[in-house]
Amino acid sequence: MPKLNYATEYSQALAQAYPYTLYFGALWTATKEDVKFLNSNTIQLPSLKVKGRKNGNRDTIGTFGRNFDNEWEPKTLKNHRTWDTLVHPRDIDETNKVASIQNITKTMNEEQKFPEMDAEAINAVYSLKNEIEPIEAKTKGYITVQNVLTEFDALMDKMDEKRVPAAGRILYVDTFTKSLIDTAKDVVRASGNKLLGRTVSRIDEVEIVSVPTTLMKSAFTFKEDDGFEVSADAKDVKMMLVHLSAIIPAISYEFAQLESPSALSQGKYVYFEESFEDMFIYNKKHDAIQFLVEETA
């Protein structure tokens, strides 16, 4: 078998799977055409500023001048991750092909890489939003069936006030908050409360994605040798309302290769892959990202 670096093809195949295999798949696929890669781990974010709208004059011709500036801000992808394994040919034969490299990498993607990428997404978005506008955490157990719709409406109002487009908003909630929303909607519809009925109508306007509680945390630590874990200072994310226009995902697969058994590998197949991953936001569009979080204790 020839030595073939199929990183590009591998990356394209994974990108097609993201919406179906990642809870935050919509964020990872919200790529922007104007974001450019400088190299494998650095991207350039565009920043455009305009000015100069003024009164017109029907009788004279005014002066012309440059009324925009375009700047590029370099960003380094923080998550540099690798994975490798040896596979003995006998392991493939004796497991009726179950231990083939295709099955091994598929399992690794689904059980390690994809959960880690979900953690990377919410970790990055929360951190960047919090740097621009500190997020105040509610006390543990703050969200109830009585206030969940009102709190959602408050997040929507914040976006409305900042002229964030109504279409395209996604509400990420943990498992228990999703249950509270469903219960609250039933209660409101049964009661006929017109004021809260407006909120029910609004929540039907957004796409709701239920995410396991273990992933709805504000901070994760990515281990040097194996996977990730929730950071000690992490808070519980109950709601994350996002418009994809504010999100900038960046993934670069630099290397992915399978080598046939050889003397140097002592008769085993050798697989190795390397990727750079991160997620950024447009600072000017940070109002298109709203959080509701609780303390963990």
Q: What is the pLDDT of residues 82-116, one digit of tens each?
A: 999 999 988 888 887 777 888 888 899 999 999 99
Q: What is the spatial distance between Cα 103 and Cα 124, in angstroms, rounded to a whole number?
A: 30
Average pLDDT over residues 284-288: 95
pLDDT tens-place string over residues 70-82: 778 888 899 999 9
User: Residue 4 has what pLDDT?
Assistant: 65
The pTM of this model reads: 0.86
Q: Decide if pLDDT at 267 tops 90.
A: yes
Q: Higher model confidence: residue 171 or residue 269? A: 171
One-letter identity of residue 230: V
Note whether 12 and 29 are within 8 A (CB). no
Angle formed at CA 91 by CA 90 and CA 94, multiple of 5 degrees: 75
Please write down the HEC assignment for all residues of 213-267: CCCCECCEEECCCCCEEECCCCCEEEEEEEEHHHEEEEEEEEEEEEECCCCCCCC
pLDDT > 90: percent of the chain:
57
pLDDT > 70: percent of the chain:
97
User: Residue 194 has what pLDDT?
Assistant: 63
User: Residue 36 has what pLDDT?
Assistant: 86
Average pLDDT over residues 177-199: 81
Residue 25: both structure tokens together: 């798949």
Q: Decide if pLDDT at 1 tops 60.
A: no
User: Residue 82 has what pLDDT?
Assistant: 92
Which of 236, 240, 242, 241 is closest to 293 using CA atoms? 236
pLDDT tens-place string over residues 119-173: 999 999 999 999 999 999 999 999 999 999 999 999 999 999 999 999 999 999 9
- pLDDT bin (cut points 50, 70, 90) of residue 195 is low
Q: Decide if pLDDT at 239 tops 70.
A: yes
Which of 9-18, 92-101, 171-180, 288-297 is predicted least confidently? Answer: 92-101
pLDDT tens-place string over residues 205-222: 899 999 999 999 999 999
